[in-house]
Amino acid sequence: MARIIGTLSTSHIPAIGNAIAKGLQNEPYWKPFFDSWPPVREWLAREKPDVVVFFYNDHGLNFFLDKMPTFAVGACAEYVSEDEGWGIPTIPSVRGEPKLSWQIINGIVEDGFDPVMCQEMAVDHAITNPLLLMFPDAKWPVTIVPIAINSIQHPLPGPKRCFDLGRAVGKAIEAWPEDKKVLLIGSGGLSHQLDGSRAGFINKAFDTECLEAMVSGVEPLTKYSALDVVEKAGAQGVELMCWIAARAAMQGDVKELHRTYHIPISNTASAVQLLSHSRAAETAKAA
């Protein structure tokens, strides 16, 4: 059976891709963020996940205001990187894991969700930047399953709905009969607002609450509505829903292996957090 081995949550700011392309990783502005990644890459090299399931938000590449699904699941054999307007260099295409995609789609439909099923899907910086941060050589040792969560067009799915989605996805993964290691990624956040009268808004106290909840269990965050999150984290801080869904998919006790939090990167409170699954740790120890 498939095993969920951990959850990695990270900011995915477009400027990260430009910094990588221009070799700015050691400049003072960028160094605190990029210094977050060597421990993550060491863990990846040791644990060797087979599949990465991304909970992320599409930035107008596949969906726009005229057609915006609440949830969409990629079921492609290959995902092509496309520039959605930030001038970020594209990356080599990434192999999909269609069998797991359909396992997840069937499972979450049975659990009361109605996802858009995408057999053609491009990927933007919400996926390409984390991939480059994990595997800087752009030689992808993993396949991926993208799960898009609407964070643009109201009404937005709130923390409770995204928590329930994560639970359903996790159950479907663990029922997948393939003997593969699965890593969950929550891509986006934390608090930030890019426009309007609150442009540049950052809420360190709420970010800290969320980071702590990722360790102890994110169910307490479901007391908030989607509009509560907009108020507390900013209009774009609702990317937190991706973190909640990813963490909810990993049940049981977890261990926090790594955490960094840095203000600001491109008007965003950036964070990187790695959690391991207790059952994965027990299996590795027994082996």
Show Cβ contacts of residue 67 under 8 Å, excluding neighbours closer than 6 positions: none
182 close to 172: Cβ distance less than 8 angstroms: no
Q: Is the dihedral of CA 173, 182, 78, 129 positive or negative?
A: positive
- The full length of the chain comes to 287
25 close to 38: Cβ distance less than 8 angstroms: no
Active site residue 192: yes
**What would you measure as the largest C-alpha separation in the chain, in angstroms?**
55
Active site residue 277: no
Q: Which residue of the set 192, 258, 262, 277 is catalytic? A: 192
Alpha-carbon distance of 20 to 136, in angstroms, equals: 9
Phi and psi angles of residue 135, each rounded to the nearest 5 degrees, phi first: -130, 80
Q: Which residue of the set 59, 125, 154, 258 is catalytic? A: 125
Residues annotated as catalytic are 125, 192
